[in-house]
Amino acid sequence: MGAQKSIHAGKAKIDVNVDLTHKLCASLMLTPFRSTGSPLSLVIGSLYIKHPNLFGGSEKLDVSLDKGLYDSNVLIAYRRPRPEWLSQQSFVIQHSISPEIGVHGVPMDNFSRSGSGGVNLSRLAVGLDLNEPASTKWSSTTSIKFEHIRPLSDDGRSISRDFDGFPVTCSGSSHDNMVVLRQESRYAKANDHSFCRLSLQIEQGIPVLSKWLIFNRFKFIASKGVKLGPAFLLTSLTGGSIVGDMAPYQAFALGGLGSVRGYGEGAVGSGRSCLVANNELTFPLHKMFEGAIFLDCGTDLGSGTHVPGNPALRQGKPGCGVGLGYGLRFKSQFGHFQVDCAINAFQQKTVYFGLSNLAS
């Protein structure tokens, strides 16, 4: 129930993707966070515009617009050509609006799903991305951006406090400003029988003005995959910590797909620190089908009480959790579809659906 179209206008290429399938899923499975009454609110889609030679000197312009049921993202990136041995520079403007479910979401049905906590984030970022030339196994990306973050209610009004009267920004006002220097280094090594990957991310808040946030945020993701006969075992460990100034929305959220399955998004907890372990064994069932069994666990390392306003404790989140389950993977030339069924420590079952890597 979707449509894709590519249009060539001179040297520019426009890709349009409109998906109506989410309308059916929403009516059958989801309780909307907000009611707009507009038929367009139940349509999700994307629009991409790419120009490979904007001013005749191989300058590249990429414009993308993504719209979901409750979120949207607009990204404009401009790149000038540089020699391959130098870092590639991109000037980026990005604006996004999304529900803040991970920290302010309300756990429901024995923590198996999360409802709206009435907090959404409008984020404007303007800055520069630098992609360093990749070596044999290492690559790195550096960026420096100004960010303006404004919390919104479900009906789009600016807010400074949540339903319980606690501040949702670090400044206590209706917005936070910061200049953030980010550095991400990635390592990858693979052979016919295994692979290993490591990602190290560091964010530093730079105090350009006295009221702007000053913090240091660190996160790592380490993963290892090994073939075991016809099966494949994937293990990963994710952790992080933040020190200095902090708004609640900067906390590490635990729970949900990509974290601890069996729980809703952020339903395990949120803290200044976190540690999550994921283990998954996949095995072939058919040429295009794979089965999977998995075990996830995560903890906020007791740091949930150090998040401003202590949202996790107020919502009764446990701070640690374990999820066990099984799944089905379907792979084709058109995309990858997965279904996961997980049970959490409260013996509540959750089903996840995923669709990715669609061919254009």
Nearest 10 degrees: Cα torsion 167, 318, 219, 144: -20
pLDDT at 22: 45
Residues above pLDDT 70, as percent of the chain? 86
The runs of H, that is alpha helices, within 219-336 are 311-314
pLDDT tens digits, 99-138: 999 999 999 988 888 888 899 999 999 999 998 877 778 8
The one-letter amino acid code at 203 reads: E
Q: Using alpha carbons only, what angle is made at residue 23 by residues 18 and 27, rounded to the nearest 5 degrees?
A: 175
Q: Give strand pairing partners of 170.
A: none
Mean pLDDT of the chain: 87
Compute CA distances 111 → 31, 134, 222, 345, whole Å: 16, 42, 27, 9
Q: Please, which pLDDT band fits residue 20 given cuts at 50, 70 and 90?
A: very low
- Reduced to 3 states, what is the DSSP secondary structure of residue 163? coil
Residues 337-358 pLDDT 10s = 889 999 998 888 888 877 654 4
Q: pLDDT higher for 347 or 78?
A: 78
Which of 128-151 are b and which e, b meaning 16 or more Cβ less than 10 Å from the residue's Cβ?
Answer: ebeeeeeeeeeebbbbebebebbb
DSSP bridge pairs for 31: none
pLDDT score of 70 more than 60:
yes
- Reported as a pLDDT band with limits 50, 70 and 90, residue 41 is low
- In sequence order, what DSSP letters do the residues of 258-281 get, joined into one string? TS-TTS-TT-SEEESEEEEEEEEE
Angstrom CA distances, 226 to 1, 191, 196, 235, 286, stand at: 37, 10, 9, 9, 20
Instruction: Assess whether pLDDT exceeds 50 at residue 86.
Output: yes
Segment among 2-11, 47-56, 152-161, 241-250 with least mean pLDDT: 2-11
Q: Which residue has the tokens 């907890």?
A: 269
Residue 78 dihedral angles phi and psi, to the nearest 5°: -120, 125
- Position 141 scores a pLDDT of 93
Compute the C-alpha angle 246/249/253, nearest 5°: 110
Tokens of 146: 């100004």
Q: Per-residue confidence at 18, pLDDT binned at 50, 70, 90?
A: low
The b/e string for 179-192 (b: 16+ C-beta within 10 A; e otherwise) is bbebbebbeeeeee
Residue 351's nearest CA partner among 112, 102, 36 is: 112
Question: Counting every residue, how long is the chain?
Answer: 360
pLDDT of 32 over the 50 cut: no
Integer Cα distance of 188 and 196 in angstroms:
6
Phi first, then psi: give them for residue 39, nearest 5 degrees.
-60, -30
Portion of the chain with pLDDT greater than 90, in percent? 61
Who's near 47: CB < 8 A, 6+ residues apart? 14, 15, 16, 17, 64, 65
- Integer-rounded Cα Rg, in Å, for the chain is 21
Instruction: Please say if the pLDDT value at position 185 is more than 60.
Output: yes
Stretch among 224-233, 295-304, 338-347 having the lowest mean pLDDT: 338-347
Of residues 67 and 30, which shows the higher confidence score? 67
Asked if pLDDT for residue 309 goes beyond 60, the answer is yes
> What is the per-residue pLDDT for 345?
85
Dihedral sign (CA 341, 355, 97, 25) = negative
Each residue's pLDDT tens digit, 263-294: 999 999 999 999 999 999 999 998 889 999 99
